[in-house]
Amino acid sequence: MTTTVYRLTAKDFAVIEAMLMRRRAFADPIAPMLERKLTESRVIATGAVEPDLATLNSRVIFRVGGGSPQTRTLVQADASAPVGSGLPVVTWHGLCLLGMTAGQSALAARLDGPAEEVLLEDVAYQPEAARREAQERAAGRPRHVLKLVHSAPAADWPLGERGKIRQTEGSGPFGGMIGL
C-alpha cells in the first residue's frame, strides 16, 4: 500500500507521466524517482489548488540539507525560464518539490550520492490560485461597458455629418488644395 505524499494537478501528473515514458526508454537513473512520484501522488482538480501547493510555474522558497534558502520557479524545461531563476522538474530537487505544500519536507533520493532533505518553506506565487483569485475579483466588479451619453443630430458637424472633399484654387503640388 502506498501513501499519498504529494498532490499534483492533472497537467503536472501528465507531464511527469510523459517524462517517465521517455526516460524509461533510455534507462535514465531518474526514472525510479518519477515512478515513485506518480505512485505517491493524488491528482486534484485545478480549482482545488491551495496557494501553498507547489505546481509547475510556482515560485518556491526551499532549503536543501539545512542550507540557505533558495528561490526558484518550478519549470518543465530549463529553457523556459531566465538563467538561474528556474528549477526544472527533471532535476532531483525540482521533482521532489513538485506537489509538496509549504512546510513539507521529503528526501530526494539520489543514485549519485546520499539522499538530501528538501524542505519547502513557502510558495511565493501559485499560478492556479492566483488565476482563481483574479477571476473571483473580476466577478465581483461591474463589467466595463461603453455607455452612450450624447447623440448628435445629423446636422451637427463633425459628429452627425460626413465631410465632403472640396478642391480650392491655390498653389498646391497638384495645382490646387484639397480640403475637407
Predicted structure pTM score: 0.71
Q: Is the dihedral of CA 98, 99, 103, 107 positive or negative?
A: negative
Report the C-alpha gap between 104 and 163 in whole angstroms.
71
| Cβ atoms 62, 119 nearer than 8 A | yes
Name the pLDDT band for 58 (thresholds 50, 70, 90). very high
Q: Across residues 91-101, what is the average pLDDT?
A: 92
Using one digit for the tens of pLDDT, what is the confidence trace for 72-88? 999 987 666 667 788 99
Provide the total of helices (H) and of strands (E) in the chain, helices listed first. Answer: 4, 9
The pLDDT of residue 150 is above 90: no
The pLDDT of residue 3 is above 70: no
Could you state, in order of their start, the residue ranges of all structural domains in the chain?
6-134
Fold annotation for 6-134: Chitinase A; domain 3 (3.10.50)
